Amino acid sequence: MTDTLSQAPTSSTSARIVTEIPGPRSKELHERRLKTVSAGVAATFPVYAASAHDAIIEDVDGNRFIGFTRGIGGMAVGHTNEAVAQAVADQASKVTHTLFAVAGYEPYIEVCELLAQHTPGNFAKKSVLVNSGAEAVENAVKIARKHTGRTEVAVLHHGYHGRTNLTSAMNYNMHPYGTGFGPLAGSVHHAPNSSPFHVGLTGAQAAERTITFLEKRVGASQIACLVVEPIQGEGGFIVPAEGYLPALVDWCHANGIVYVSDEVQSGMARTGTYFASEHFGIEPDLVTSAKGIGGGMPIAAVTGRAEIMDASHPGGLGGTFGGNPVSSAAVVAVFSEVEKRGLLNEAKRVEKVLKPALLDLQTKHPVIADVRGIGAMLAIEFADPATGKPAPEIAKSVQTHALHAGVLILTAGTFGNVLRFLPPVVITDDQLREAVAVMDDALSAL
């Protein structure tokens, strides 16, 4: 299987630019979009997708891009994965919708069984299925509050949790997520994080800083839950120092606080394990998942200790489309693909190929201040080599250069000075090398 995944590029597996960017069809769609689509929805790239497969996205003008971005990790299994597409088609012709709380169906239960099996922690687990990552985080907070009888919610600096009212309050960056949209939900407290590249504290020192803040500013006995991304996604793929997360989990457990691992971005085969929490040896009480689990279909979940997940009275959790049969069937197919095609190992292969190439790039281009991440969740951070100041303009110009060369890469980081590589784990070695060569060109041209 690895052989077919890593085969030499054919004409349909490498980038191909055949028009100016954006091309005429994309421009036309953009004109139409401006008339009826809210300006509040960002347009990161000016191109419109016509079709996609594995790591390649073809736009409406016939340009082909290697996608490091699309779906922001929604596609660990790759675009239009055959097994997922088949499962969706089959389920769509059986039952498309009933509302699980009204008339149940098997795929919902299968998803909960798979999540119980594959999320970290050797204890009885239950799940609730919802529609989006933000909704999963909202539900995790509801459940933790009901379970503990407490109100306060703790999060970390540089975190990201969604765009609903509560999750906007939980994000570190007020802009663009919160400005002008308030009042945002209260009872949310932002504590310092661990970010070895930015602040050279050990895991133990960083945990002490986080815990001291929460104990002094909030009071441990008031806190219902601590919600943490094991690797901070929008924050710039920040991997915490060793020992940091276990210390937070221990502190939560000593103080009756529910530890929630927000794995919406880092989960589902992304880092070479099913969930990134495994890399840090932690067993969260609750795990949120979304992006990667549905292979592109909208679905999300909260999974965790059965006694906590059962805290809500019947009717307190759920929603019309949560765990929709078609989306649930997609999740079952994604889990099966991860097993059958060895996608955990494919994520490790991506790291083995891409990380050394990025480190080489760093040696050549000192404006790359840091290379970090795990598995198929890697990032480079740009800073002025003289002053150490964040260099978002470099990230932006490499992103633009890459777009014109047929590579789509998203920026990240609180200062926008990070490029993140979040490819489908089925991306080939040649595609990875092609993308690195494009970035090398972009940096040399600066």
Residue 162 found at the interface with ligand PLP (CB under 6 A)? yes
Does 133 contact ligand PLP by CB under 6 A?
A: yes
Longest dimension (CA), the chain: 63
Q: Which of 142, 157, 161, 348 binds ligand PLP (CB under 6 A)?
A: 161
Tell me whether residue 88 or residue 268 sits nearer to ligand PLP (CB atom).
Answer: 268
Instruction: Point out which span in 46-54, 143-151, 174-182, 257-265 binds ligand PLP (CB under 6 A).
Output: 257-265
Q: Report how far residue 239's alpha carbon sits from residue 232's, in angstroms, rounded to the nearest whole number.
A: 7
User: Toward ligand PLP, which CB reaches closer, 69 or 265?
Assistant: 265
Is residue 262 part of the contact set for ligand PLP (CB under 6 A)? yes
Q: Is 230 in the site for ligand PLP (CB under 6 A)?
A: no
Number of C-beta neighbours around residue 45 at 10 A: 22
Stretch that binds ligand PLP, among 99-107, 260-268, 355-363, 418-426 (CB under 6 A): 260-268
Based on the shown chain and the rule CB under 6 A, indicate whether residue 229 belongs to the binding site for ligand PLP. yes
196 binds ligand PLP (CB under 6 A): no
Pairing of strands 418-421, 377-382: antiparallel
| Dist CA 49 CA 326 (whole Å) | 23
Output the smallest distance, CB 8 to ligand PLP, in A: 34
Angle at alpha carbon of residue 114, lines to 109 and 117, rounded to 5°: 125
Which C-beta is closer to ligand PLP: that of 137 or that of 338? 137
63, 69, 119, 265: which one binds ligand PLP (CB under 6 A): 265
Q: Which is nearer to ligand PLP, 269 or 369 (CB)?
A: 269
Q: In angstroms, what is the minimal distance from the CB of 262 to ligand PLP?
A: 5
**Separation of alpha carbons 122 and 282, rounded Å:** 11
What is the spatial distance between Cα 425 and Cα 436, in angstroms, rounded to a whole number?
16
- What does the alpha-carbon distance between residue 350 and residue 420 come to, in Å, rounded to a whole number? 13
| Least spacing, CB of residue 41 vs ligand PLP, in Å | 12
**Binding mask of the shown chain, residues 45 to 84, with x at each position contacting ligand PLP by CB under 6 A:** ---------------------------x------------
Closest CA to 348 of 374, 316, 378, 366: 374
Instruction: Name which of 95 and 185 has its Cβ closer to ligand PLP.
Output: 185
Q: Which is nearer to ligand PLP, 23 or 177 (CB)?
A: 177
Contact indicator for 87, 329 with CB cutoff of 8 Å: yes
Taking alpha carbons only, the member of 182, 198, 185 closest to residue 232 is 198
Q: What tokens does 325 get?
A: 């049969």
> Any contact of residue 139 with ligand PLP (CB under 6 A)?
no
If the CB atoms of residues 119 and 265 are measured against ligand PLP, the closer one turns out to be 265
Taking Cα atoms as reference points, which of 443, 141, 156, 82 lies closest to residue 286?
Answer: 141
Tokens 């082909």, residue? 64
* Residue 281 φ/ψ region, left for φ over 0, alpha for ψ in the -120 to 50 degree band, beta for the rest: left
Degrees, nearest 5: CA angle 235-163-375: 35
Shortest CB 446 distance to ligand PLP, Å: 29
CA 46, CA 41: separation in Å to the nearest integer? 13
Question: CA-CA distance, 388 to 409, in Å (whole number)?
Answer: 23
Does the protein bind ligand PLP through residue 160 (CB under 6 A)?
yes
Q: Which residue stretch of 98-106, 132-140, 268-276, 357-365 sits at the interface with ligand PLP (rule: CB under 6 A)?
A: 132-140
Q: Residue 290 interacts with ligand PLP (CB under 6 A)?
A: yes
Tell me which stretch binds ligand PLP (CB under 6 A): 154-162, 187-195, 201-209, 330-338. Answer: 154-162
Stretch that binds ligand PLP, among 131-139, 323-331, 369-377, 388-396 (CB under 6 A): 131-139
* Residue closest to 134 by CA, chosen among 28, 291, 360: 291
Q: Which residue is nearest to ligand PLP (CB)?
A: 133
**Virtual torsion, Cα 3, 278, 270, 91, nearest 10 deg:** 90
CA 190 to chain CA centroid, Å, is: 20
| Minimum gap (Å) between residue 203 Cβ and ligand PLP | 20
How many chain residues touch ligand PLP (CB under 6 A)? 15
Measured between alpha carbons, how far is 244 from 201 in angstroms, rounded to an integer? 10
Q: Among residues 15 and 300, whose Cβ is nearest to ligand PLP?
A: 300
Structure token digits, residue 220: 């441990």
Angle between helix 82-92 and 325-340 (nearest 10): 150
**Interacting span for ligand PLP (CB under 6 A) from 127-135, 181-189, 271-279, 323-331:** 127-135
Binding site for ligand PLP (CB under 6 A): 72, 132-134, 137, 160-162, 229, 233, 262, 264-265, 290-291
